[in-house]
Amino acid sequence: GVITANRLNIRKEASKEAEVLTVVSKGTGVGVNLTKSTDKFYCVNVIFNGEMTTGYAMKEFITINE
């Protein structure tokens, strides 16, 4: 998927209140795990501090390339 928001919080859990792990910028590519995604959040993999990090981001701000 590709981030469409100017800045998007990647959260520890699929909740707006969950801890923010990192923030990614518009155009950033992320891996999406549809199996672990929820109605409103994608489970995503991003590289943060040189390591792969798994978190959650709101679906409305990610475009999935088919």
Q: Are 9 and 20 in contact (CB under 8 A)?
A: yes
Percent over 90 (pLDDT), the chain: 88
pLDDT tens, residue by residue, 7-24: 999 999 999 999 999 999
* Residue 65: partners with Cβ closer than 8 Å, 6 or more residues away: 1, 2
pLDDT (0 to 100) of residue 41: 98
Q: Cα–Cα distance between 52 and 50 in angstroms, integer?
A: 7
pTM for the whole thing? 0.91
Query: By C-alpha distance, which of 65, 55, 64, 61 is closest to 3?
Result: 61
